[in-house]
Amino acid sequence: MRVAMIGTGYVGLVSGACFSEFGTSVICVDRDAEKIARLQGGEIPIYEPGLEDLVAQNVGAGRLSFTTDLASAVSGADAVFIAVGTPSRRGDGHADLSYVFGAAEEVARALPAAGDHFTCIVTKSTVPVGTGRQVAEVLARVRPDLVLGRDYDVASNPEFLREGSAIEDFMRPDRVVIGVESEAARACLKGLYRPLYLNETPVLSTRLETAELIKYAANAFLAVKITFINEIADLCERVGGDVQQVARGIGLDGRIGAKFLHAGPGYGGSCFPKDTLALVRTAQEAAAPLRIVETTVEVNEARKAAMAGRVVDFLGGDPAAAGDSLAGKTVGLLGLTFKPNTDDMREAPSLAIVPRLQAAGARVRAYDPEGMAEAKKLLEGVVWCGDPYEVAEGVDCLVLVTEWNAFRNLDLARLKATMARPALVDLRNVYDPDRLQQAGFQYLGIGRGPSVPAVPAHLTVVTPRLAG
Ligand code: UDX
């Protein structure tokens, strides 16, 4: 089997490298010549654990290569994956599909002559419901000489890769979803994923639209789950509960499941914010609005901003006032990326927090193990530091924004010695509040305030009288 992977972004590069690891011959295509040159030189443009080695091994074995020449890559391929970007279109939240359709046109022009070969054209990018069929229309328009089902077919094969563990997710997925309309396309995709049969990975074969919808529904459901526990955390702070224990208590119910119940500063990244928005728009247009997802989007946006207010309040400033109530104060951020093990800053909560702290008059110092180069392009006026201890120098408060392992076991005495005031706002609940207090820190976590506030009168517990 031979694969052409169009687009060497995050998804394309990981998927291409992993298919080649399965023993398939893969050519990765990108129109960005500089990127291709770097990849040919063994340089990986993104940070993803294990990817550099995987690429090097498979390039060395002659199974993986990189080119800007789409036509030659497509002409000999059994499967062509379209893994180009689908950014949110400015203004309306819809996914911008111009790159997908552009790639489809180029692929169509490069397909072999009628009767020569069967090529399966697969959308791997996350695309709105109906896109697969539109890709088929592009192919039919550009290549009226070819016969659908004999010379080519279209398919949908969404990815469920998490940044930071993408290779593991590709190699050991919970499931593989393939949206196909013909036996030939099904056989092609099943063949590519055959190595996964060894560990009995379920392969779900559906229609095109269903496969496209599975991807959006999965991401939206996870976003709802995170947002739900975040709101429960707020409630915990009001009524004296501990959100970690609530999460454990509900997560042990097999119908709910323990994952994605970590309260935090709100979800970010390249997928959840974009995909939830795109799904909301699709649903509105189909007159089947997804109100629960609409609310999730709103609540999550508000939450990221509210995290800055939390720090302002903690430092004795006025979170509601526009003035500079934190003038003269310095805040140190530990972590900037939307989650650990990535250099991705897209929609990261830190991007909402830093400018608001600065607007309140605070000076901001920050460190992130991998995200600083990206962060420097997006944030201004920050004092960039080389490690957590440098961040702590002279600050009135540290804010743990991203739960990198490097921040899990900091030397508290060393931090305390250099801080103006030993205080930690822990937006990821990494630290044990008691331990921090014993170490002399003022501590504020998420949904587990150190003191149990008085229960409001209307929530006073009334013990029911037993009958009889
Ligand atoms: C996500 C999906 O998990 C993946 O299936 C899809 O293909 C792409 O989008 P990713 O964006 O890499 O992957 O990150 P993920 O690990 O899912 O985390 C997303 C965001 O949710 C992060 O900001 C993370 O901090 C946040 N999160 C996650 C929480 O706040 N609490 C949780 O319990 C889990």
Q: Which domain holds residue 338?
A: 246-468
One domain for residues 275 and 377: yes
Burial 257-282 (b: 16+ CB within 10 A, else e): eeebbbbbbbbbbbbbbbbbbbbbbb
Q: Is the CB of 427 under 6 A from ligand 1?
A: no
Sheet holding 64-67, edge to edge: 64-67, 25-29, 2-6, 79-82, 119-123, 152-156, 176-179, 203-206
One domain for residues 189 and 255: no
One domain for residues 259 and 390: yes
One domain for residues 413 and 291: yes
**For 139-146, what is the mean pLDDT?**
97
Maximum separation of any 2 CA atoms in the chain, in Å? 87
Expressed in angstroms and rounded, the spacing between residue 152 Cα and the centre of ligand 1 is: 35
In a domain, 236, yes or no: no
Give the pLDDT confidence score for residue 320 in this predicted structure. Answer: 81
Q: What is the spatial distance between Cα 360 and Cα 114, in angstroms, rounded to a whole number?
A: 66
Q: CB under 8 Å to 335, separation ≥6 — which residues?
A: 350, 367, 368, 371, 400, 401, 402, 403, 404, 407
Q: Is the CB of 46 under 6 A from ligand 1?
A: no
Q: Is the CB of 272 under 6 A from ligand 1?
A: yes
The minimum-distance atom of ligand 1 relative to the CA of 126 is: 7
Mutate to test the pocket of ligand 1, among 165, 169, 272, 299 (most ligand atoms within 8 A of CB): 272
Mutate to test the pocket of ligand 1, among 227, 244, 279, 339 (most ligand atoms within 8 A of CB): 339
In a domain, 73, yes or no: yes
Q: Is the CB of 159 under 6 A from ligand 1?
A: yes
Q: Model-level pTM?
A: 0.92
Q: Is the CB of 79 under 6 A from ligand 1?
A: no
The domain spanning residue 294 has which CATH number? 3.40.50.720
Expressed in angstroms and rounded, the spacing between residue 379 Cα and the centre of ligand 1 is: 22
Tell me the per-residue pLDDT of 55-83, one tens digit each, with 9 for 90 and over: 999 999 999 999 999 999 999 999 999 99
Percent of the chain with pLDDT over 90: 89
One domain for residues 260 and 170: no
One domain for residues 251 and 193: no
Asked whether residue 144 carries a pLDDT value surpassing 60, the answer given is: yes
Expressed in angstroms and rounded, the spacing between residue 161 Cα and the centre of ligand 1 is: 10
Give the pLDDT confidence score for residue 457 in this predicted structure. Answer: 45
Give the pLDDT confidence score for residue 94 in this predicted structure. Answer: 81
One domain for residues 293 and 183: no
Looking at residue 88, what DSSP letter applies? B
In a domain, 302, yes or no: yes
Give the pLDDT confidence score for residue 420 in this predicted structure. Answer: 98
In a domain, 235, yes or no: no
Tell me the per-residue pLDDT of 220-251, one tens digit each, with 9 for 90 and over: 999 999 999 999 999 999 999 999 999 999 99
- ipTM of this predicted complex? 0.92
Give the chain's domain count. 2
In a domain, 74, yes or no: yes
One domain for residues 331 and 455: yes
Tell me the per-residue pLDDT of 300-326, one tens digit each, with 9 for 90 and over: 999 999 999 999 999 999 888 777 899
Give the pLDDT confidence score for residue 319 in this predicted structure. Answer: 82
Q: Is the CB of 219 under 6 A from ligand 1?
A: yes
Q: What is the spatial distance between Cα 447 and Cα 297, in angstroms, rounded to a whole number?
A: 20
Q: What is the spatial distance between Cα 27 and Cα 37, in angstroms, rounded to a whole number?
A: 14
One domain for residues 335 and 450: yes
Give the pLDDT confidence score for residue 296 in this predicted structure. Answer: 98
Range scoring the smallest mean pLDDT among 204-208, 274-278, 461-465? 461-465
One domain for residues 288 and 415: yes
The minimum-distance atom of ligand 1 relative to the CA of 169 is: 5
Phi then psi for residue 79, to 5 deg, are: -130, 135
Tell me the per-residue pLDDT of 418-459, one tens digit each, with 9 for 90 and over: 999 999 999 999 999 999 999 999 999 999 864 444 444 454
In a domain, 17, yes or no: yes
In a domain, 215, yes or no: no
**For 21-44, what is the mean pLDDT?**
96
In a domain, 396, yes or no: yes
Instruction: Grade residue 465 by pLDDT with cuts at 50, 70 and 90.
Output: low
Residue nearest to atom 10 of ligand 1 (CA): 162
C-beta of residue 219 within 8 angstroms of C-beta of residue 229: no
One domain for residues 196 and 251: no
Q: Is the CB of 329 under 6 A from ligand 1?
A: no
Last residue of a domain, one of 147, 180, 206: 206
One domain for residues 400 and 464: yes
Q: Which residues pair with 204 in a beta bridge?
A: 177
Q: What is the spatial distance between Cα 437 and Cα 37, in angstroms, rounded to a whole number?
A: 53
Q: Which residue's structure tokens are 């120098």?
A: 393
